Amino acid sequence: MRIIFIGDIMGRSGREALEKHLPTLRKELQPDVVIVNGENAANGAGITEKICKEFYEWGVDCITTGNHVWDQREIIPYIARDERLLRPLNFPPGTPGGGLYKHRLNDGRTITIINAMGRLFVDALDDPFRGVREALANEIMGKTTNAVFVDFHAETTSEKMSFAHHLDGRVSAVVGTHTHIPTADAQILDGGTAYQTDAGMSGDYNSVIGVETEIAMHRFVKKMPGERMRPAKGEGTLCGCYIVTNDNTGRALSIEPIRIGGRLAQQRPTNA
């Protein structure tokens, strides 16, 4: 199975990068599924129903989120009726929406997509390690599902790496989001799980993790609140990764970073 995952869409710059570059990626890579983290898509804070529908029109199959999922209050009733829009599964029971979506391809193959959130330096939720293991209790790669993809939205590299090793061999891929910086550690773990600590932000990198530089710097220089954070508005870089898995085992065959447009060094997958 061919999987495209795009990291945190940051404001208008990130949305424009997705709209501009995703059609080309779909043509070049012929993915079976496209997954996008959209938790910063609405002016850097949350996502709206309108933006979700735009993403689907552009060829996105599933949208993941994270700690900013509730920033736009209108999403609360919408997420309850859109199974393709995920929130971290380790929110307490009774929280609107879900953290797992099983996507079926036209040829009958399936991919189980999971969204989970870490607990270090973010709001403490239920245990994501136990939560994902329980969610996968009845899933066997290659039998009940052809692939399992996990977006782990977390702050620290140690928690992300521990989470990936904990699930190694049980899922096809664990890719981190949240820190807005693409890491250079795309790899396949010993058990066959593809891993990257952070897919990176899709947005304007002439910024401080996507926020206008002067606004972000003020908090460090003055050590006091300043203007409300606003996304930078320059040309965005589309960041993510491209993963190929074995349909019979669910194990990853390859993982390659994606960086297209904007000011970062460009990288397009070669294993098309």
> Mind telling me the catalytic residues?
68
Q: How far is CA 140 from CA 144, 172, 239, 243, in A?
A: 5, 11, 30, 19
C-alpha 231/C-alpha 208 separation (Å) is: 9
Question: Letter for the amino acid at 226?
Answer: G
Place of tokens 């399992």: 148
Please list, in sequence order, all residues whose beta carbon lies within 8 angstroms of the beta carbon of residue 36, skipping any fewer than 6 positions away: 5, 6, 9, 18, 55, 60, 62, 63, 64
Measured distance CA(53)–CA(19) in Å, rounded? 12
Q: Are 142 and 248 in contact (CB under 8 A)?
A: yes
